[in-house]
Amino acid sequence: MSQADAEAWIAEGRSATVLPVIASSLQVCGQNRILIGLLDGQNRSIATPDRTLEVAFFDLGRDPDQPAATAEGEFVWAIEGSRGLYVVNVDLGESGIWGAEVRTAAGGAEEVARAGFQVHPTGVTKRVGEAAPASKTPTADDVGGDLAKLSSDEDPEPRFYETSVDEALAAHEPFVLVFATPKFCTSAVCGPTLEKVKPFVDEFPSVTFINVEPYQLAWDGSQLKPVLTDDQLTPVPSVDEWGLLTEPWLFVVNESGTIRGSFEGTVGESELRAALEAVS
């Protein structure tokens, strides 16, 4: 199917009151965790806990009339009380142009709308089932224990900065790795996502928790400031090692060093707990 045909398919199901937005960065062949947002006619988020979402996925190159897969969306707050998204887990069989037809309801009123997206043969981000890279990531020891020189979090959790990724792997410790920068986040979701993770530190004492600032930062004597390259934020080496295109991103890794959970953007309490229970 051509891009023009795909746009015509989307237009057939266009709604004047609901616009679905594919918020995850890259879809690939195989299992995907897709984030979907909903906007109204004034581009305001209308995703809420009491609004349901069902999605039919169409492989537009094969059959634009019969869905290749269907799934229900699970609502999560990206920013508590302000911006919500739906998490949809689905297996997409082949690369090409795909369409998502969403059916959403709130207060008894149901609406249907469509969006298109590209499925790529492969991706660059480390996936579930792959080996975790042995990245050397900063710890509190590197800055003499002064977390203000390491983290842009105004209230950092000290246990996030005790262990480097390569150390956790060498010790065969299950760990959570969060790439998030509360102060310099381009998505505005890093801080809220990091706050969601903090309560799990006490709940899962056998798991190591690691936060990495995804951009190079320098201490100017009073605060951290970003290191810019061509006026752009400069990723740290571990961002490239893990193949990240966006932030925040969270990985759950088992004691054998295999990635068992991968969450772009925001993460729901239930899905994070399930991943932690599987490795602890």
Instruction: Give the tens place of pLDDT for each residue, 100-124.
Output: 999 999 988 899 999 999 999 999 9
Query: Are 20 and 14 spatial neighbours (Cβ–Cβ below 8 Å)?
Result: no
Beta-bridge mates of residue 32:
90
Beta-bridge mates of residue 52:
105
Question: Which domains, from first to last, does the chain contain?
Answer: 3-120 (2.60.40.10), 140-279 (3.40.30.10)
Name the token pair of 236.
């740290």
Phi–psi pair at 33, nearest 5 degrees? -105, 105
Q: Please report which confidence band the pLDDT of residue 3 belongs to, taking 50, 70 and 90 as the band edges.
A: confident
The closest of 277, 74, 82 to 192, measured between CA atoms, is 82
CA atoms within 13 A on the CB side of 105: 7
Separation between Cα atoms, residue 101 and residue 55, nearest integer Å: 6
Q: What percent of the chain has pLDDT over 90?
A: 95
- Enter the pTM of the model: 0.96
Compare 224 and 5 and report the one with higher pLDDT: 224
Query: Are 259 and 133 spatial neighbours (Cβ–Cβ below 8 Å)?
Result: no
CA-to-CA separations, 6 to 116, 120, 140, in angstroms, rounded? 7, 16, 51
Separation between Cα atoms, residue 12 and residue 6, nearest integer Å: 10
The mean-pLDDT minimum among 9-23, 47-61, 71-85, 250-264 falls in 9-23
188 DSSP assignment? S
Given this model, what pLDDT does residue 86 score? 98
Separation between Cα atoms, residue 207 and residue 174, nearest integer Å: 5
* 43-80 per-residue burial string, b: 16 or more CB within 10 A, e: under 16: eebbbeeebebbbbbbbbbeebeebbeebebebbbbbe
Contacts of 21 (CB under 8 A, 6+ apart): 36, 37, 38, 39, 115
Task: Tell me the torsion sign for CA atoms 80, 81, 85, 89.
Answer: positive
- Relative orientation angle of helices 269-279 and 190-197, to the nearest 10 degrees: 50
pLDDT exceeds 90 at position 5: no
Given this model, what pLDDT does residue 16 score? 84
| Phi-psi group of 208: left, alpha or beta (phi > 0 → left; psi -120 to 50 → alpha; rest → beta) | beta
User: What are 190-220's pLDDT values in tens digits?
Assistant: 999 999 999 999 999 999 999 999 999 999 9
DSSP per-residue string spanning 132-175 = PP------GGGGTT-GGGT---SS--GGGGS--HHHHHHTT--E
Separation between Cα atoms, residue 211 and residue 194, nearest integer Å: 8
Q: Please report which confidence band the pLDDT of residue 77 belongs to, taking 50, 70 and 90 as the band edges.
A: very high
- 3-class DSSP state of 11: helix
Separation between Cα atoms, residue 88 and residue 141, nearest integer Å: 40
